[in-house]
Amino acid sequence: MSVFSQIIDRSIPATVVAEDDRVIAIEDIAPKAPVHVLVIPKTDAYANVSELAAGDPALLAHVVATAQRIADERAGGQFRLVFNTGEAAGQTVFHVHAHVLAGDLQEGTLAS
């Protein structure tokens, strides 16, 4: 069970900023920007964004729409959306998730 599955089922605490029946959005524990929120589908069926796009494009669209809503609320609608795919690209949790970043972005990689 991934750390995100444990957050979804509330066995690990997190700061939840948005939630519905398909996704949960939480504050990143090691933010790289003033706004750094993770949007996580509530299914662990997809390890990365490519699998999600192939398997459930409507859910991917919902992740993006949720990211936009968070950016609208927290950053005037301007944001960067990052999906890490693969270990060499910085992915450390193999449960698809999007990083919503806004504000003064720090240089460097985004891992998780």
The residues that are catalytic are 97
Helix locations, the chain, DSSP H: 3-8, 49-55, 57-75
Q: How far is 98 from 9, CA to CA, in rounded Å?
A: 19
Place of tokens 């910085």: 90
